[in-house]
Amino acid sequence: MKKLAVLGSTGSIGQNTLEVVRQNPDKYSVFALAAYSKVEIIFKQCIEFNPSFVVLIKPEAANELAQMLTLANCTTQVLVGSSELDQLVAVSEVDVVVAAIVGGAGLSSTLAAARAGKTILLANKEALVMSGQIFIDEVKQNHAKLLPVDSEHNAIFQSLPLDYQTDYLHREITEFGVHSIVLTGSGGPFLNTPLAELSGKTPAQACKHPNWSMGQKISVDSATMMNKGLELIEACWLFGVKPDFVEVLIHPQSVIHSMVRYIDGSIMAQLGAPDMKTPIAHCLGFPRRINSGSEHFDFVQAGKFEFQAPDFERFPNLKLAQTAFYSGQEMTTVLNAANEVHVDAFLKGKISFTQISEYNQNIMEKLQPAKASDLDSIFAIDEEARATAQAGVRL
Among 86, 138, 150, 340, binds ligand NAD (CB under 6 A): 150
Between vectors from CA 207 to CA 344 and to CA 131, what angle results, nearest 5°?
Answer: 50
Q: Which one of Mg ion, ligand NAD, none is in contact with 8 (Cβ closer than 5 to 8 A by kind)?
A: ligand NAD
297 binds ligand NAD (CB under 6 A): no
Q: What is the C-alpha to C-alpha distance for residues 202 and 215, in angstroms, rounded to an integer? A: 16
> Which residue of 4, 5, 10, 353 would you call a contact of ligand NAD, by CB under 6 A?
10
Residue 12, interface with ligand NAD (CB under 6 A)?
A: yes
φ, ψ at 118 (rounded to 5°): -80, 170
Q: Is 210 one of the binding residues for ligand NAD (CB under 6 A)?
A: no
- Near ligand NAD by CB under 6 A, which window of 5-13, 155-163, 248-256, 349-357? 5-13
150 counts as binding Mg ion under rule CB under 5 A: yes
Report in angstroms how near the CB of residue 150 gets to Mg ion at its nearest.
4
- The interface region with ligand NAD, picked from 32-40, 165-173, 190-198, 352-360 by CB under 6 A, is 32-40
Backbone angles phi, psi at 296, to 5 degrees: -80, 145
Nearest approach, Cβ of residue 259 and ligand NAD (Å): 18
* Residue number closest to ligand NAD, CB atom: 11
Stretch that binds Mg ion, among 101-109, 149-157, 169-177, 386-394 (CB under 5 A): 149-157
Closest CA to 81 of 60, 111, 110, 102: 60
Name the E strands within 207-321. Answer: 246-250, 256-262, 267-271
Window 46-105: residues binding ligand NAD (CB under 6 A)? 57, 100-102, 105
**Dist. CA 69–CA 212, nearest whole Å:** 33
Return the half-sphere exposure (C-beta side, CA atoms, 13 A cut-off) of residue 5. 29
Separation between Cα atoms, residue 81 and residue 59, nearest integer Å: 7
The reply on whether position 124 binds ligand NAD by CB under 6 A is: yes
Q: From the list Mg ion, ligand NAD, none, pick the one residue 39 interacts with, judged by a Cβ distance below 5 to 8 Å according to partner type.
A: none
Considering CB distances under 5 to 8 angstroms, the limit depending on partner class, which of Mg ion, ligand NAD, none binds residue 86?
none
Output the CA–CA distances (angstroms, integers) from residue 277 to 14, 195, 212, 273, 325, in the order listed. Answer: 10, 34, 12, 10, 29
212 binds ligand NAD (CB under 6 A): yes
Amino acid making up residue 195: L
How far CA 153 is from CA of 48, 179, 232, 342, in Å, comes to 31, 16, 9, 26
Query: DSSP letter string over 225-266?
Result: THHHHHHHHHHHHHHT--GGGEEEEE-TT--EEEEEEETTS-
Q: How far is the CB of 64 from Mg ion (least distance, A)?
A: 33
* Binding residues vs Mg ion (CB under 5 A): 150-152
Residues near ligand NAD, by CB under 6 A: 8-14, 35-36, 38, 57, 100-102, 105, 123-125, 150, 212, 214-215, 218, 276
